[in-house]
């Protein structure tokens, strides 16, 4: 008997059939992966299983018994835990409190706080979480918050654990730790339901794979029936994709586009200097916590730097706040789209056109906004409705909205922080092509990415950060998986 079974599940939102008659089953001791392009319905399916959303029709069975959840605590009560795609921590409280809070909701009345704290700490240790556990989680990076979310799920004794893109914001080293934990969970007889756009990971981890396409079930395959990543792509999109990966342009880079000199942020960034020339894509690699995002934020004035200068095309620019950076022609596409990138209650059309200069009558007309947004999203290979609030888009489609907006600006310098996080394979290739296109058009491109193959495929040069410093600068020929990891991890 499966630990979890879903039968003939349907769910519609205004104007979208998110799920149509979907079924699958997950057994104890298996890792069952859900696969599908952005907007295919993976998160919606899992949210109905976890009681976040109510299905319109269909059945959910746990250990063969039909269940009906009105809220997540109902699902937790029968032993289901979920790691959400979008961070769901309470940002004002500490990591440890976030872990214990889940417990509190679970066993109302009978909370053994001591025990809860012990288990929470153990789970964090198991993931080798090395940030402070007693500061509000809002002060942690996205990756660190993700580890807290994971720890929360594994510190319960759930028999069914749902992980919706848990590695999207983790580096390879951190992902490895998670895989060890998943291995243990599998051996202990937990049913793990997993979602990832990283196909290698899917091949490495899965016992079975179920694919969705436009809200419909494509089918389920055992790992032994899947030979390669191409087979996964085939299941997911129903067609072959052009080869992924855009190589360096090979063209001589031009003059300096961005120069950063002696930037420091106490405790996180230590006297960093580097330059990116026009026509060049420079990759910024490093482990989580190495200070890459913090460096980018300090450069654009989102965080205060204690020292350091920024030059755009050879001229010093004074940047005190993000508005100054935009005015100086620097675009930063943030990794944390939920908090820094998007106005979630505004429509996709308004979000894409948010930074456009106002038209003659003040704001752009609604119709014009829609037309502009539709046009801007076209190269990103998506069919989203632009007049719906961004909140209602799938995770990957939200990322595409952030991209579309910045691509419309007249910036000369583009800083991408995890640009393909949560993006499906098809669109990932498009985004790589877009980044290369920007460089070819004479822009300076700095790309922060934890996806090492992406860094190696895209970058003309790779900078490696460790503990707030740039510790290596590698040419295209010197940059290999091995060399980058060695510099990133060396003590
Ligand atoms: N609360 C909501 N209101 C309206 N539409 C929604 C809502 N949640 C999801 N949708 C829509 O349902 C469809 C499926 O979205 P879902 O988030 O399940 O996709 P996904 O497969 O998880 O994609 P991704 O890989 O990008 O995370 C999308 O068209 C999405 O816009
Ligand atoms: Mg999703």
Measured by CA distance, the residue closest to atom 25 of ligand 1 is 38
**Does the pLDDT of residue 114 top 90, yes or no?**
no
pLDDT band at 79 (very low <50, low <70, confident <90, very high): very high
Q: What pLDDT score was predicted for residue 320?
A: 93
**Domain extents in the chain:** 4-237, 256-489
Rounded to the nearest angstrom, the distance between the alpha carbon of 18 and the centre of ligand 1 is 7
* Per-residue confidence (pLDDT) for residue 158, from 0 to 100: 92
What does pLDDT average to over the chain? 88
Name 327's Cβ contacts closer than 8 Å, sequence gap at least 6: none
More confident residue, 491 or 365: 365
According to the model, what pLDDT value does residue 239 have? Answer: 62
Measured from CB, residues less than 6 Å from any atom of ligand 1 are 13, 16, 18, 36, 38-44, 85, 392-397, 424
pLDDT of amino acid 445: 96
Over residues 172-215, the pLDDT tens digits come to 788 888 999 999 999 999 999 999 998 999 999 999 999 999 89
Residue identifier of the C-alpha nearest atom 2 of ligand 1: 392
4-237 and 256-489 in the same fold = yes
CATH class of the 4-237 domain in this structure: alpha beta
Best of 22, 41, 199 for a ligand 1 pocket test (most atoms within 8 Å of beta carbon)? 41
Distant-in-sequence, close-in-space partners of 357: CB < 8 Å, separation ≥ 6: none
The average pLDDT across 140-163 equals 88
Q: Report the candidate in 416, 462, 463 with the shortest Cα–Cα distance to residue 435.
A: 416
- Whose CA is closest to 403, among 440, 439, 432? 432
> Is residue 417's pLDDT more than 70?
yes
Tens digit of pLDDT for each residue in 240-274?
555 544 555 556 778 999 999 999 999 999 999 99
Q: Is the pLDDT of residue 169 over 90?
A: no
CATH class of 256-489: alpha beta
Distance CA 334, CA 417 (A): 5
Mean pLDDT for 265-285 is 95
Residue 54 CB coordination number (10 Å): 12
CA angle, residues 282, 280, 327, in degrees to nearest 5: 90
Confidence of residue 456 (pLDDT cuts 50, 70, 90): very high
Q: Give the whole-angstrom CA distance, residue 41 versus residue 237.
A: 13
Residue pLDDT, tens place only, 340-373: 678 888 999 988 888 776 655 556 678 888 888 8
């Amino acid at each position: 008997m499966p630990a979890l079974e879903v039968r003939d599940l349907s769910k519609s939102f205004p104007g979208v059939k998110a799920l149509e008659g979907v079924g699958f089953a997950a057994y104890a001791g298996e890792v069952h992966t859900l696969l599908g392009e952005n907007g295919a319905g993976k998160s919606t399916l899992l949210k109905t299983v976890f009681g976040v959303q109510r299905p319109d029709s269909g059945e959910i069975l746990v250990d063969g018994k039909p269940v009906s959840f009105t809220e997540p605590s109902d699902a937790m009560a029968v032993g289901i835990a979920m790691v959400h795609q979008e961070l769901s921590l309470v940002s004002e409280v500490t990591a440890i409190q976030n872990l214990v809070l889940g417990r509190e909701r679970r066993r109302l009345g009978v909370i053994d706080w001591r025990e809860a704290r012990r288990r929470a700490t153990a789970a964090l240790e198991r993931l080798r979480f090395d940030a402070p556990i007693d500061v509000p989680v809002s002060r942690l990076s996205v990756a660190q918050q993700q580890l807290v979310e994971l720890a929360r799920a594994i510190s319960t004794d759930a028999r069914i654990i749902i992980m919706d893109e848990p590695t999207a914001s983790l580096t390879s080293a951190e992902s490895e730790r998670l895989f060890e934990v998943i291995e243990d969970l599998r051996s202990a007889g937990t049913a793990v339901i997993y979602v990832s756009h990283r196909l290698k990971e899917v091949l490495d981890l899965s016992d079975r794979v179920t694919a969705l396409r436009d809200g419909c079930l494509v089918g389920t395959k055992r790992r032994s029936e899947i030979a390669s990543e191409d087979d996964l792509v085939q299941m997911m999109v129903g067609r072959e994709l052009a080869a992924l990966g855009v190589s360096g342009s090979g063209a001589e880079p031009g003059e300096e586009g961005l120069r950063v000199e002696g930037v420091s942020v106490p405790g996180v960034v230590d006297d960093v200097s580097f330059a990116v020339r026009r026509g060049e894509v420079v990759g910024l690699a490093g482990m989580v916590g190495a200070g890459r995002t913090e460096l980018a934020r300090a450069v654009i004035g989102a965080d205060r730097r204690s020292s350091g200068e920024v030059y755009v095309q050879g001229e010093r620019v004074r940047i005190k706040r993000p508005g100054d950076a935009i005015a100086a022609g620097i675009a930063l596409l943030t990794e944390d789209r939920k908090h820094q990138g998007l106005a979630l209650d505004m429509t996709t059309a308004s979000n894409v056109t948010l930074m456009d200069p106002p038209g003659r009558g003040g704001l752009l007309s609604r119709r014009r906004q829609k037309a502009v947004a539709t046009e801007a999203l076209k190269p990103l290979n998506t069919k989203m409705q632009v007049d719906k609030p961004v909140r209602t888009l799938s995770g990957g489609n939200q990322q595409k909205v952030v991209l579309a907006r910045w691509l419309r600006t007249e910036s000369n310098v583009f800083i991408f922080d995890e640009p393909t996080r949560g993006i499906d394979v098809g669109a990932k290739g498009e985004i790589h092509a877009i980044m290369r296109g920007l460089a070819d058009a004479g822009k300076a491109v700095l790309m922060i990415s934890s996806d090492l193959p992406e860094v190696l495929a895209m970058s003309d040069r790779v900078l490696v950060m460790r503990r707030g410093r740039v510790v290596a600068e590698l040419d295209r020929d010197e940059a290999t998986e091995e060399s980058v990891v060695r510099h990133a991890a060396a003590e």
